[in-house]
Structure 1
Amino acid sequence: MAGKLYIIGDLSDREATKALADKINAQGPFDTIIHNAGIYQGDGKRLAEVNTFAPYLLTALVKLPPRLIYLSSGLHSNGQAKLEQLAGDCKGIGYGDTKLHILLLTKALAKRYPSIKVNAVNPGWVPTKMGGAGAPDDLQKGYETQLWLATHPDATASGQYYFHQHPQAYNQAADDEQLQDEFLKVCERVTGVKIREQ
């Protein structure tokens, strides 16, 4: 299809994710990158690979755009960082934990990259393949915030957690700068890849 590009990668496979980063770099640079891929169910290892380590790796390896957007979830509010498990076999890590990881990543990057707009979004429980046909939230509102953050000139904040284009209350553990730094160190140690300086 003219004007459209599809690059496919397996985010549950670390080497495939690194190869995907190379393919993305061959097509960039981009104005915005939205880290949207994720899984809801699976064992802790698979959840961590797809929902935590893959966005970390892609952020570390893909050329940085002016805007970065990460999909979190309202379920992050009951999540825990569980860094010891994340550094080990990931046993006991759940979906909410990985979505707290995304918010930790967002906050850490907003601090590290002051010239880049880095934000997280709760799209709501919307009727997608993951959310199911009976999900109560509006599908259009589920993507409008990402579109707004990606394109609108008024979307100038960074380090925020948004729901329906408004900053939303979130798990305050994400503001712990020591926890953010420890999270990045665990990701670096596990993946062998360091987040770059801007």
Structure 2
Amino acid sequence: MSRILVTGSADGLGRAAADALLSAGHDVVVHARNRRRAAALDALVGRGAHLVVGDFAERDAVRHLAAELNDAEPLDAVIHNAGVWSGPAVMPVNIIAPYLLTALLPSPHRLVYLSSGSHFSGRPSLSGIDWWGKSAGSYADSKLFVTTLAAAVARLRPGVLSNAVDPGWVPTRMGGPSAPDDLELGHRTQEWLVSSDEPQALTTGGYWYHRRLREPHRSVHDEAFQVRLLETLAEETGTALQGL
């Protein structure tokens, strides 16, 4: 049994992943943005899930949540699922929060970052990015950055299994009811990567779609771009990744 945090698990893919992992016997930590959203997790908490609350658009809230998690039993894995499609919170939620949690949570040895096929449209440029969420940011850019973060962690932390997953365009609240991909397949890969002992699930640095490796945007494995991204995030947050 592993202790697994699933961020953004009040609905959609995060909720489905948390539900499945809990049913499989894992010790699951679920997360909601605020207490109102947390009410949607009552059924999972009633089945034994642990609840943490924090708004990932706020850096201090991410830090408080990380401190709370570090005071509890160590985590074995994190599914960085929380994300927003548009609006000022795109960069804070989609890249700043997963970066800070990666930097502030030393124990997890399996990390999964939710990417998107949209990352192929992202620009490998760090100039002019509104990291603080004062204006709307590019979803595609944010997903390119978080996919690159996953690859950088895999390269620089050999003891950690770090992967990115494209869940497909699935019919969630974010994806919309007309999304064409399979909702069930949309959450199975991340569950497999944080819990399975199959040889493929014990690999690192991959970009996955429905348990198949795919080649990501060419900038993802560009070490110079990885370094620039990590340096920028460290400067923006005042927090460097531990062990790097």
Q: Which moved more, 1:137-146 or 1:22-31?
A: 22-31
Residues 1-42 of structure 1: per-residue CA shift (max 9 Å, x gap): 252111010000111111111112122312211000000011
Q: 1:138 to 1:87 in 2, by over 3 A?
A: closer
1:162 match: secondary structure = strand
DSSP 3-state at the match of 2:220: helix
| One-letter identity of the residue aligned with 1:28 | E
Contact preservation (8 Å) 1:85, 1:93: no
Q: Distance in 2 between matches of 1:89 and 1:19?
A: 18
State the partner residue of 1:22: 67
Find the partner of 1:158 among 204, 215, 224: 204
Identity of aligned residues (%): 39
Distance 1:158 1:48 in 2: 25
Partner Cα distance (1:137, 1:40) in 2: 17
The TM-score normalised by the length of structure 1 is 0.93
Could you tell me which of 45, 51, 61 is aligned with 2:104? Answer: 61
Deviations 1:166-191 (A, max 9, x none): 10121011111011001000000000
TM-score (normalizing by structure 2) = 0.76
Moved beyond 4 Å, runs of 4+: 87-92
Equivalents in 1 of 2:237, 2:161: separation in Å?
25
Q: What aligned pairs does 1:116-127 form with structure 2 within 5 A after superposition?
A: 116-127=160-171
Q: Which of 48, 52, 63 is matched with 1:7 structurally?
A: 52
Summarize the Cα distance change of 1:56–1:2 in structure 2 as closer, same or farther, 3 Å threshold. Answer: same
User: Which of 160, 173, 177 is matched with 2:223 structurally?
Assistant: 177
Structure possessing the higher relative contact order (Cα contacts under 8 Å, 6 or more residues apart): 1
Cα drift, residue 87 of structure 1: 6.9
Number of residues paired by the alignment? 196
- Cα shift readout 1:102-152 (whole Å, capped 9, x = no counterpart): 111011100111111100000001111111111111111000101111111
Q: What is the match of residue 32 of structure 1?
A: 77
Alignment of 1:134-145 (within 5 A): 134-145=178-189
Q: Provide the rounded CA distance (Å) in 2 between the counterparts of 1:28 and 1:81.
A: 37
Contact 2:116 2:165 in 1 (8 A): yes
Measured in 2, the distance between the counterparts of 1:25 and 1:49 equals: 21
The one-letter code sitting in structure 2 at the alignment partner of 1:191 is T
The change in CA–CA distance for 1:5 and 1:92 in structure 2 (over 3 A counts) is: closer
Distance 1:183 1:87, change over 3 A: farther
Query: What's the counterpart of residue 123 of structure 2?
Result: 80
The CA RMSD over aligned residues, in Å, is 1.6
